[in-house]
Structure 1
Amino acid sequence: MSRFTALALLSAAALPGALAWGAMGHETVAYVASNYVSSATKSYFQSLLGDTSTDYLASVASWADSYRYTTAGAFSAPYHYIDANDNPPTSCSVNLDRDCGSEGCIVRALQNYTSILIAGTATKANLQIAAKMVIHFAGDIGQPLHCEALDVGGNTIDVEYNGDDTNLHAAWDSDIPESISGGSSLSSAKSWATDLISEITSGSYKSQASGWVSGLSVASSSAQTTTAMKWATESNAYVCSTVLKGGVSAVENKDLSGAYTTTAQPVVDLQIAKQGYRLAKWLDAIVAAAK
């Protein structure tokens, strides 16, 4: 770890949380994950994070977003996404060499902070920050517009939601997830997670769950990158199939709270469930491999 990175991590240790996927969405991913981690993983991360409550993952799930908006954490802003320079809705694809800029991207960041946790040689403060980053990025990578370059991941596509002005990215981060959960609170996240856990354990996702983590590996940097690229590629595909299926003109300056949301909700449900389950197995693998 470079001296700059170490100092930047230390300076971030006390910052509060903020929004992205919607904080509620990130919390839901974390609650799903906390249901599926092993007892050893739960003990490890509760100890590392200094929180023995059931909220130990959810309480830090959005921390990385407040950090990125600080002077010390500005360097981490590119870590929340990968700019897929594809051509939606005609074609969607992610290419690491093409799309991960010199300042980094979510695939490289997830790999880097995972390696820090496995190595275990950083200070406790830095290990805590690495954990918070991994928890957050495992959620971000499931948001399709975090894996798309077009119009700054949809941030410059103006839309409306229930009559309010917003942008396409924000609609996917917050409005559509909240239309499923019924709100933006921690209790909304818990309730949504409970529903998703039921679907994973015994419902419509049961037959899919093992496939979500097929090939998952933290055995090496390349294995970590390969897994993260698989997640990013799956997420990016929804830009063509759902997010921008009709092109920019189909959503720009339109109110998305009706039929568009009805179509998007199953994708958001799936991605939150999927990344929560994957986060659990990723954290399990980290603890198993930690030195």
Structure 2
Amino acid sequence: MWSQIAVFGLLPFAIPTVYGWGATGHQAVGYVAMQFLSPKALSFVQSSLGTTYNRSLGPAATWADDVKSQTAYKWSSVLHYVDAEDDPPYSCSVSESRDCGDGKCILTAIANYTSRVVDTSLSATQRQEALKFLDHFIGDIGQPLHVEALEVGGNDIDVKCSGSTSNLHSVWDSGLVNKLVSSNYGNSVTTWANALVSRLNSGTYRSSAASWISCASTTSTVKRSLEEDITGYLDRRAITPLRCPLTWAADTNTFDCSHVFEYSSGQDLCTSSYYTNAVPVIETQIAKQGYRLAAWLNVLFDGSTNLP
């Protein structure tokens, strides 16, 4: 197992500020995942998180953002993203060797905390921390600007959102999401999560959900199941990169070419067609990552994805 301190404890502190999906998006990922956990995974989540997080991945999902500005956790800031050195909106791609050559990015972080969360030689506190990092990072990897290097993942691109000056990264983290939840779901993250779960169980996502957890190689058409990906990694029959997180990152990155950077100068991204077109992307990505998070934990603790 990797040592958290040895691998990630000596990172440089000159790190750009990024915030994932924001509290609402991350909580929604956690709440979606909770409804698909199988028995042993659910038991571990509830007992590990305890009353501090209401025994739920929803409230725990923001922890990694909450602590990364603290001195003790500054090393973790670079683990929230992978800087895809591509050329959106013309060409989009993710390569672990190219974009995470120093081994310090979200792809390697997911691998590290996957091993730590099931390592019974660690303390309950350490395993809880690993769970909270997985909860958060599997959410982050679904945010298009967390798999993009251009202009510091959009942080250096000034845009408008509902009449206010913001930056592109922040708009995707929070601006678009918060407007969506306020306008369509009574400003309730649980109402939103329940609606996404309904689509996964019997609605518009039902037919495609299985493909969200099937991981194709980035260099061939050969598929590897999520179970094979995790088992191979933990048994050391395969080395990193874990194929599923890399596949998910590449899937997310496609939106940097198809939508994220496609807007007009001066356009208000939260009150125009840009917002309308972003809504289905955001909702699908949140549903995907909640479903994937559940599948990941189910394999770790129950040996199978156990998803409908």
Q: Shift of residue 3 of structure 1?
A: 7.7
* Matched residue, 2:143: 143
Is the aligned partner of 1:220 residue 2:220?
A: no
* Greater fraction of residues in helix: 1
Is the aligned partner of 1:284 residue 2:298?
A: yes
Query: Structure 1 unaligned runs (5+)?
Result: 9-17
Alpha-carbon distance in structure 1 between the residues aligned to 2:95 and 2:264: 26
Q: Shift of residue 55 of structure 1?
A: 5.3
Q: Shift of residue 66 of structure 1?
A: 1.6
Alpha-carbon distance in structure 2 between the residues aligned to 1:7 and 1:82: 15
Q: Structure 2 counterpart of 1:4, which letter? A: I
Aligned with 1:239 (options 244, 256, 270)? 256
* Matched residue, 2:13: none
Contact 1:20 1:62 in 2 (8 A): no
Contact 2:91 2:257 in 1 (8 A): yes
* Matched residue, 1:102: 102
Normalised TM-score (structure 1) = 0.88
1:165 counterpart SS class: strand
Aligned with 1:255 (options 261, 268, 276)? 268
Deviations 1:113-156 (A, max 9, x none): 00111232211111110000000001000000000000000011
1:138 counterpart SS class: helix
1:110/1:2 CA distance change after superposition, 3 Å: closer
Q: Structure 2 counterpart of 1:146, which letter? A: H
* Matched residue, 2:178: 178
Deviations 1:89-135 (A, max 9, x none): 11000000100142600010001100111232211111110000000
Deviations 1:35-91 (A, max 9, x none): 011122111111112239865111110100122111111111110000000011110
- State the number of aligned residues: 276
Runs of 4+ in 1 over 4 A off after TM superposition: 5-8, 52-55
1:7/1:271 CA distance change after superposition, 3 Å: closer
Higher mean displacement: 78-87 or 94-103 = 94-103
* Matched residue, 2:5: 4
Query: Structure 2 unaligned runs (5+)?
Result: 10-17, 215-224, 234-238, 304-308
Alpha-carbon distance in structure 1 between the residues aligned to 2:21 and 2:264: 19
Deviations 1:213-256 (A, max 9, x none): 12223113347711110110000011001111x3xxx3554311
The correspondence of residues 184-195 of structure 1 with structure 2, limited to 5 A, is 188-195=188-195
Q: Shift of residue 6 of structure 1?
A: 9.9
1:160 counterpart SS class: strand
1:73 counterpart SS class: helix
Contact 1:158 1:166 in 2 (8 A): yes
Normalised TM-score (structure 2) = 0.83
Q: Structure 1 counterpart of 2:267, which letter? A: K
Alpha-carbon distance in structure 2 between the residues aligned to 1:207 and 1:223: 30
Higher mean displacement: 38-47 or 185-194 = 185-194
Contact 1:93 1:236 in 2 (8 A): yes
Is the aligned partner of 1:270 residue 2:280?
A: no
Higher mean displacement: 99-108 or 168-177 = 99-108
Q: Structure 2 counterpart of 1:160, which letter? A: K
Contact 1:157 1:252 in 2 (8 A): no
1:151 counterpart SS class: coil
